[in-house]
Amino acid sequence: MPDTYNYSYETFQFRHSLDQHPRDSDFKMHVHEQYEIFYYISGEAHYLVEGTEYPLEPGYLLLMRPTESHRIKILADKPYERFTLHFLPSLFDMLDPSHRLLACFENRPLGKQNLYLPTEFHSGYPIDLFTAMSKSIVDPEAKRLDVLIHSLSLLSLIGRAFEKKQLKEKDCAPEDVSEEIVGYINRHLFEELSLEFLGKHFFMSSSQLGRLFKKTTGSSVWEYILIKRLMAVRSLIRSGIPICKAAFDCGFHDYSAFYRAYTKKFGVSPKKDASVWSEK
């Protein structure tokens, strides 16, 4: 991911990135612990969020909350340019202790209402705020304040658009089967789940369900379940829950398999991760 501009400070990271010759195989389904604001500048691509596929046009903006799976799907070898802002919920704790600014991320179903069109912003333009965040400022403290102020303005702008979106989308279209599968998995994430079981539940063959899930989410069923469970375990152990209990509660009944998967995903053992977090 070639960055034309990259700024990070503890609880947030801002990037302006450009891939001249993007390859779809380089972009995998992923989840993370931060909130993400994604602004699409150019390219030819669609965006997958929890089974919902959003065709992209320049100026489109998407929101992803922690553990919401997402992936860019590159459709052609055209320059792929975007702005991204990642931040932890603690970023605005002092200014917004009730986290009202996060309503646009949290007060909606997974994979729903992620997309904002340019016409939905009537009192300002996200591109102006992203461009302002890209300015080079020598003084580190002045730069930090500049990015924070513009991030706050951006969230306020999105929040107003979200309120209008909520009013318009009260009468939602019924879910298709791929959305039903994603929703079912998230509701039963820590229970016994298998491709065979899901196929029977949704009255289709295992291979058919697997192909449909891969197409709509960008990952296999097991990869999706595994990543979601690992993120849940990490959150629990960082809150002080014993590792074995957290793993079992999140659906891992083989500790050695859990240990290998956790270490591979996060690059650190569960015990080390918990101890480092407790020292912060």
Section 235-245 average pLDDT: 91
Task: Please state the pTM of the whole predicted model.
Answer: 0.82
Section 168-186 average pLDDT: 74
Residue whose C-alpha is closest to residue 269's, from 225, 229, 233: 233
End-to-end CA distance of the chain: 30
pLDDT at 37 over 90: yes
- Is the fold of 3-168 the same as that of 177-278? no
The pLDDT of residue 220 is 92
User: For the domain 3-168, what is the CATH superfamily, name and number?
Assistant: Regulatory protein AraC (2.60.120.280)
CA distance 201 to 181: 9
In the three-class reduction of DSSP (H, G, I as helix; E, B as strand; rest coil), residue 216 is classed as helix
Q: What percent of the chain has pLDDT over 90?
A: 64
The pLDDT of residue 178 is 83
Q: pLDDT tens, 136-166?
A: 888 999 999 999 999 999 999 999 999 988 8
Q: pLDDT tens, 207-232?
A: 989 998 988 888 899 999 999 999 99
The CATH architecture that domain 177-278 belongs to is Orthogonal Bundle (1.10)
Do residues 19 and 64 make contact, with C-beta atoms less than 8 angstroms apart?
Answer: no
* Mean pLDDT lowest among 34-38, 47-51, 95-99: 95-99
The pLDDT of residue 173 is 52
Section 164-174 average pLDDT: 66
Contacts of 54 (CB under 8 A, 6+ apart): 46, 47, 48, 60, 62, 114, 115
Section 239-246 average pLDDT: 92
Section 238-243 average pLDDT: 90
Task: Report the C-alpha dihedral over residues 211, 213, 214, 215, rounded to 10 degrees.
Answer: 90
Section 2-28 average pLDDT: 90
pLDDT at 267 over 60: yes
pLDDT at 4 over 70: yes
CA distance 43 to 58: 8
pLDDT at 123 over 80: no
Give the torsion sign (CA, 154, 128, 66, 141): negative
Section 74-95 average pLDDT: 92
Greatest CA separation for the chain:
61
Break the chain into its structural domains and give their ranges.
3-168, 177-278
> Residue with structure tokens 């007060």?
107
Cβ burial 225-247 (10 Å sphere, 16+ → b, else e)? bbbbbbbbbbebbbeebebeebb
Do residues 24 and 73 make contact, with C-beta atoms less than 8 angstroms apart?
Answer: yes
pLDDT at 280 over 70: no
Higher per-residue confidence, 123 vs 69: 69
C-alpha dist (Å) from residue 233 to 24, 103, 107, 262, 274:
30, 24, 23, 9, 11
Can you list the alpha helix ranges (DSSP code H) found in the chain?
A: 103-106, 126-133, 140-168, 177-187, 195-201, 206-217, 221-238, 243-249, 255-266, 270-278
Confidence of residue 170 (pLDDT cuts 50, 70, 90): low
Tokens representing 124 are 């300002």
Confidence of residue 174 (pLDDT cuts 50, 70, 90): low
Q: pLDDT tens, 51-72?
A: 899 999 999 999 999 989 999 9
Higher per-residue confidence, 47 vs 123: 47
pLDDT at 113 over 70: yes
Section 172-199 average pLDDT: 84
Mean pLDDT in the chain? 90
